[in-house]
Amino acid sequence: MVDAVMRRAQDAFFEYKKITATNRSLFLENIAGAIEHIREDAVAIAHKETNLPLARLNGELTRTTSQLKLFANLLREGSWVEASIDTKDAASPAKPDLRKMLAPMGPVIVFGASNFPFAFSTAGGDTASALAAGCSVVVKGHSAHAQTSQLIFGAMKKASDVSGMPAYTVQHVMGSGSTVGRELVEHPYAKGVGFTGSFAGGRALVEYSQRREQPIPVFAEMSSINPVVFYPDTLSKNAAALAGVYAGSITLGVGQFCTNPGILFGIRGEGFEKFLDLLGEELSKVQPQKMLHSGICASYQKGVGNMLSQQGLKVLSRSAGVVVGEAEVGLDAAAVLAVVSGEEFLRNPQLTEEVFGPYSLAVVCADRAELLQALQGLKGQLTSTIMATESDRAEYGDVIEAQHNLAGRIILNMPPTGVEVNASMVHGGPYPATTDARFTSVGTTAIKRWVRPVCLQNFTDGMLPDALKNSNPLGIMRLVNNLYTREAIQ
């Protein structure tokens, strides 16, 4: 089955990559329209499959269609191909005319994510960016929202037909990651992989890809605990407000966001203590909510249980309802705030593991040196958040610098949850946050994951693609003899 799918994906790729950018734009907009058309059904089914609230799902669907339109606009503007031209130089006649642009790599495998049934799944950011790049796409739908995935795929297929795209430009398969998923990644025609999920899942895909005769890039977003440092002056001034904001951030979406703040650092003292008390109080008021599915909920309970069994770790607060360790687990998850000393934290690397859900660990450091050491020992992260006044920033420059080295996105005085989709976003970061810190999976530059530069040497103008022709018929920004310009070449 997989072989037939990949042969069709390969055939479709060779046709699809010839489609003009304008027509690819229309295709993406048609997908957005087709999804909008089935909004009510899609949201209802996703709600049934994932327990996510209707309002959140409606918002997520809007984000999904917005992403598609964003890439459509990127294609229309056109400069994203990084056209670069060095014309012949009269002074050095031996030097040839060289022109370079980005070109699509080939069929891309996209794995649906459990926590975003729309925005990171079937027609989500990976698919939208790969289609925008000119790659055919095979979606491996996520079993936790199989019906939603099938429904969204139906809309994409319809849009593909209406837009006159090659048959099989997008395909959809279901099955387990370790069988069907593996076969897809191992297939010689696959040229790239997008994945958002667990560390184990991402690692497995990387290993499949590395065992191929031709290894291919795997963009896996895997694991991040999103450290937040609360500096003393802001704690002394804003403790109550910060407690409210962070109680919301920790429990947003039942903690099922990649950017959930899983670790909160501060220096021992009245300020941090008071803040943690207030945060605990806020969290205790949060109503338990249903997680995505029983597997995730069981993992959460197990993860929290494991943390609470670690030496020196104490529970500071727990939201009402479910008690960890109860026989009947169900789907409801209580938010848990635990606390540990910096000394203990430095001793026990297990405390840096991600617990996916509304769990957060406060690390009380003895002093600035211990805080610095704790930060320097962290692995790569998606985000690193600085909660600090101007006076904090003046005093803690070295600690803030250490925060800069940790992540793809550095945030000042806002919680890490909340990911804008635009040209400046980086949703990525050093391993193990992702497998490739050089790219982002959110925002327009996500398209760069599915392309490679190709240089055309000594071509006649007629043989060049529009992006590289002398007349610049697309009117795009190009680097011509080292100058940025939209002008034609005379």
Residues carrying an active site annotation: 221, 258
Contacting a copy of itself within 452-471 (CB under 8 A): 452-460, 463
320 lines the binding site for a copy of itself (CB under 8 A): no
Report the nearest approach of a copy of itself to the CB of residue 428 (Å): 7
199 lines the binding site for a copy of itself (CB under 8 A): no
Torsion of CA 467, 468, 474, 480, to 10 degrees: 120
The pair of structure tokens assigned to 312 is 């020196």
440 lines the binding site for a copy of itself (CB under 8 A): yes
Residue among 5, 445, 469, 474 that touches a copy of itself (CB under 8 A): 445
Stretch that binds a copy of itself, among 228-236, 289-297, 310-318, 428-436 (CB under 8 A): 428-436
408 lines the binding site for a copy of itself (CB under 8 A): yes
Nearest alpha-carbon partner for 358 in 331, 376, 378, 336: 336
Distance CA 137, CA 135 (A): 6
Report the nearest approach of a copy of itself to the CB of residue 423 (Å): 5
Q: How many CB atoms lie within 10 A of CB 185?
A: 26
125 lines the binding site for a copy of itself (CB under 8 A): no
CB closer to a copy of itself, 176 vs 422: 422
Please enumerate in sequence order all residues whose Cβ is within 8 A of that of 193, keeping only pairs 6 or more positions apart, or say none: 108, 109, 110, 111, 185, 205, 209, 216, 217, 218, 219, 220
Q: How many CB atoms lie within 10 A of CB 212?
A: 13
Report the nearest approach of a copy of itself to the CB of residue 488 (Å): 17
CB closer to a copy of itself, 311 vs 424: 424
**Helix/strand number for the chain, H first, E second:** 15, 19
Report the nearest approach of a copy of itself to the CB of residue 276 (Å): 24
99 lines the binding site for a copy of itself (CB under 8 A): yes
CB closer to a copy of itself, 217 vs 303: 217
CB closer to a copy of itself, 8 vs 145: 8
Residue among 19, 146, 479, 489 that touches a copy of itself (CB under 8 A): 479
Distance CA 199, CA 434 (A): 9
Stretch that binds a copy of itself, among 30-38, 78-86, 289-297, 366-374 (CB under 8 A): 78-86
Sheet strands (E) in 438-477: 451-457
Torsion of CA 272, 274, 277, 279, to 10 degrees: -70
| Region at 190 (left for phi over 0; alpha for psi -120 to 50; beta for the rest) | beta
426 lines the binding site for a copy of itself (CB under 8 A): yes
Stretch that binds a copy of itself, among 51-59, 83-91, 153-161, 287-295 (CB under 8 A): 83-91
CB closer to a copy of itself, 240 vs 456: 456
Task: Go through the chain and tell me how many residues it has.
Answer: 490
Stretch that binds a copy of itself, among 229-237, 305-313, 364-372, 429-437 (CB under 8 A): 429-437
484 lines the binding site for a copy of itself (CB under 8 A): yes
280 lines the binding site for a copy of itself (CB under 8 A): no
Q: How many CB atoms lie within 10 A of CB 362?
A: 24
CA distances (Å), origin 287, targets 37, 115, 252, 321, 418: 34, 20, 11, 8, 21
Distance CA 221, CA 194 (A): 8
Backbone angles phi, psi at 213, to 5 degrees: -60, -40
Q: Which residues bind a copy of itself (CB under 8 A)?
A: 73, 77, 79, 84-86, 94-96, 98-100, 105, 206, 210, 214-215, 217, 379-380, 390, 393, 404, 407-414, 418, 420, 422-426, 428, 430-432, 435-440, 445, 448, 451-460, 463, 477, 479, 482, 484
